[in-house]
């Protein structure tokens, strides 16, 4: 077992038992009245799970399993993008003790989350095709007319 595999396993175990960590629970309860902070934390943890799943898909050798996992990743990304839209609405709601600069920063955080979600590889058609254009479009065909 390599060091990288050990680190991944330790990380997975820590994430599994994170709910029992007293310090983490105290941090989460500190933002008890702030809906933005709660939703942000939820989206952040879901993004980490999706990124981890996309890393697993990248190493997957069974194509059918990889396609199924990529479809699940795309569904999760769509749900997360809906949550980011809700988060953007919450970013500009007035919260007691929150300055205007903090409200603007929250809006930027929500936008950054959306971009981060879009950047997660999902095996879709938006992947690069290494410079090879599809030849199904006749506009992509060029003839060299020398005569």
CATH class of residue range 34-120: mainly alpha
**pLDDT recorded at residue 105:** 86
pTM above 0.85, yes or no: no
Q: How far apart (Å, rounded) are the C-alpha atoms in residues 5 and 104?
A: 40
**pLDDT recorded at residue 128:** 45
**pLDDT recorded at residue 129:** 42
Rounded mean pLDDT, 33-42: 83
- Segment holding 81, helix H or strand E: helix 63-91
Q: How far apart (Å, rounded) are the C-alpha atoms in residues 76 and 7?
A: 26
pLDDT tens across 127-142, in order? 444 444 444 555 566 6
Tell me what the pLDDT averaged over the chain comes to: 80
Residue 78, pLDDT above cutoff 80: yes
**pLDDT recorded at residue 76:** 94
- Distance (Å) of CA 70 to CA 17, 33, 42, 44: 27, 36, 21, 19
Domain locations in the chain? Answer: 1-30, 34-120
């Amino acid at each position: 077992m390599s060091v990288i595999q050990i680190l991944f396993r330790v990380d997975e175990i820590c994430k599994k038992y994170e709910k029992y960590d007293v310090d983490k629970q105290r941090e989460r309860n500190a933002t008890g009245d702030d809906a933005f902070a709660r939703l942000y934390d939820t989206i952040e943890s879901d993004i980490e799970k999706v990124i981890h799943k996309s890393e697993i898909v990248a190493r997957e050798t069974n194509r059918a399993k990889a396609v199924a996992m990529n479809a699940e990743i795309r569904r999760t990304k769509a749900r997360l993008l809906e949550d980011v839209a809700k988060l953007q609405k919450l970013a500009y709601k007035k919260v007691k003790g929150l300055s205007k600069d903090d409200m603007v920063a929250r809006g930027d955080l929500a936008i950054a989350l959306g971009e981060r979600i879009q950047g997660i590889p999902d095996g879709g058609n938006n992947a690069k095709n290494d410079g090879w254009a599809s030849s199904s479009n006749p506009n992509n065909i060029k003839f060299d007319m020398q005569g």
